[in-house]
Amino acid sequence: MSNTTGRLLRVTTFGESHGPAIGCVIDGCPPGIAIAPEDFAHDLARRATGKSRHTSARREADAVEILSGVYEGVTTGTPVALLIRNTDARSKDYANIARQFRPGHADYAYWQKYGVRDPRGGGRASARETTMRVAAAVIAKKWLRERHGVTVRAHLSRLGELAPAAHDWSAVEDNPFFWPDPAQVPQLEAYMDALRKSGDSVGAEVTAVADGVPPGWGEPVYGKLDAELAAAMMSINAVKGVAIGDGFASVAQKGSQHRDAMAPQGFLSNHAGGVLGGISTGQQVVVSVAFKPTSSLRLPVEGLDADGNEVEIVTTGRHDPCVGIRATPICEAMLALVLMDQALRHRAQCGDVGAVAPRIPGQADG
Ligand code: EPS
């Protein structure tokens, strides 16, 4: 029932926001990858709530228990099962809206589909689920880095109407917004403080980038790298759009501008975002993801309850005024999971092909 992503690296997540635990099973993980419970802490903390006043105040320990698939510190090739216990759910915040459909939220659609739903903290529709994607991707990122020299990173590229005025990768991890222009951080702080006071929320865009991807990853037609990236990103809560390379800006471009010229020293531009014909070219893989503004607001809104009564809905509790901020490591994680899956598929079918001349270097900044 679609709780699994990937074909050779298959990640299945389970759990609800206010259930006893969330978890995942990673099947198809190659043997011999060194992994310990503490390896997950860094990326999980980057994604977590309660780390700054600009995100939900819920404080989860996000301590990973490795239940299977790892022996004496290395993966064994058997399913890797990871578990995180929920420790800070406050279900009473949801008591008043348990039978109400929050406009813009998954409540109504889940109700129509299943005829029953877990309303506590959004249940399975909660962004809490993304914790396990980030955990699984810790292993994928490690494998990609060690086996192929591939690195995956991401930054916020829009916060509402604000866009970075400069781009410095080294600044991204030093501010609570994953923002690449440190000079703008005070402006972002003021923007978010005013937004939070108003009780409203705002959308955002994340750009995720992979460096060092060799040419050849991705499969024709239905298994395209860009198609699977789009599906993976769209599976993240609150995502409304995905663009590869120039994406929708391509609409206003001429072919003479968009095509990436090639020379012995490398590609001369990267409008394609590192993918041609669904297959990586060796250039930087660039994917941008649009997040809608969070729907859970304390501002009242007209809605309906499960009996069809008109009701005024107010959502209390601990919500993100801009869920796109914390989505930065989540997009990074999905990029890593898709790349590792495609790398394994490429190895399975084309492992004997080897490097084909001429191999030209990719363009560094897409
Ligand atoms: C979420 C609502 C909030 C967030 C949660 C995602 O949950 P609660 O109402 O239980 O505080 O805190 O995010 C997380 C707990 C997390 O780890 O990402 C939602 O409606 O999606």
Residue 15 belongs to a domain: yes
Buried/exposed 101-118: b ≥16 CB within 10 Å, e otherwise: bbebbbbbebeeeeeebb
Q: Which helix (H) or strand (E) holds 216?
A: none
pLDDT tens digits, one per residue of 287-338: 999 999 999 999 999 999 999 999 999 999 899 999 999 999 999 999 999 9
Q: Which two tokens stand for residue 273?
A: 């975002």
Tell me the residue range of the domain where 340 lies.
4-350
Reported confidence tier of residue 362, pLDDT bands at 50, 70, 90: confident
Nearest CA to ligand 1 atom 21: 126
Q: How far is the CA of 294 from the centre of ligand 1 (A)?
A: 11
Residue 168 belongs to a domain: yes
Alpha-carbon gap, residue 53 to 29, rounded angstroms: 37
Q: Which amino acid is at 139?
A: I
Nearest CA to ligand 1 atom 17: 128
Cis peptide before 358 (omega within 30 of 0): yes
Alpha-carbon gap, residue 196 to 329, rounded angstroms: 22
Q: Ligand 1, closest atom to CA 127?
A: 21
- Pocket test of ligand 1: the residue of 59, 126, 236, 330 to mutate, having most ligand atoms within 8 Å of its CB, is 126
Q: How far is the CA of 273 from the centre of ligand 1 (A)?
A: 32
Q: How far is the CA of 319 from the centre of ligand 1 (A)?
A: 6
Q: How far is the CA of 127 from the centre of ligand 1 (A)?
A: 6
Residue 357 belongs to a domain: no
Asked if residue 4 has pLDDT above 70, the reply is yes
Alpha-carbon gap, residue 93 to 120, rounded angstroms: 8
Asked if residue 365 has pLDDT above 80, the reply is no
Taking the model in full, what pTM does it have? 0.98
Residue 356 belongs to a domain: no
What is the DSSP secondary-structure string of 125-180? GSGGGHHHHHHHHHHHHHHHHHHH--EEEEEEEEETTB--SS--GGGGGGSTT--S
Q: Report which of residues 354 and 140 the model is more confident about.
A: 140
Q: How far is the CA of 278 from the centre of ligand 1 (A)?
A: 35
Alpha-carbon gap, residue 330 to 342, rounded angstroms: 18
Mean pLDDT along residues 183-211: 98
Residue 34 belongs to a domain: yes
Rounded alpha-carbon distances, angstroms, from residue 99 to 31, 135, 312, 344: 47, 33, 12, 45
Q: CATH number of the domain that 261 lies in?
A: 3.60.150.10
Q: For the chain, how many structural domains are there in total?
A: 1
Q: Ligand 1, closest atom to CA 126?
A: 21
Q: Report which of residues 53 and 361 the model is more confident about.
A: 53
Q: Which two tokens stand for residue 66?
A: 């490795």
Q: Ligand 1, closest atom to CA 317?
A: 9
Alpha-carbon gap, residue 247 to 38, rounded angstroms: 37
Rg (CA), the chain: 21
CA atoms within 13 A of residue 316's CA, in its CB half-sphere: 9
Asked if residue 89 has pLDDT above 90, the reply is yes
Q: Ligand 1, closest atom to CA 326?
A: 18
pLDDT tens digits, one per residue of 226-277: 999 999 999 999 999 999 999 999 999 999 999 999 999 999 999 999 999 9
User: Which percentage of the chain shows pLDDT scores above 70?
Assistant: 99
Residue 143 belongs to a domain: yes
Residue 354: strand, helix, or coil: coil
- For ligand 1, which residues put their CB under 6 angstroms from it? 17, 49, 56, 58, 60, 89, 93, 121-122, 126-128, 131, 237, 296, 317-319
- pLDDT at position 363: 64
Residue 66 belongs to a domain: yes
Asked if residue 160 has pLDDT above 50, the reply is yes
Residue 49 belongs to a domain: yes
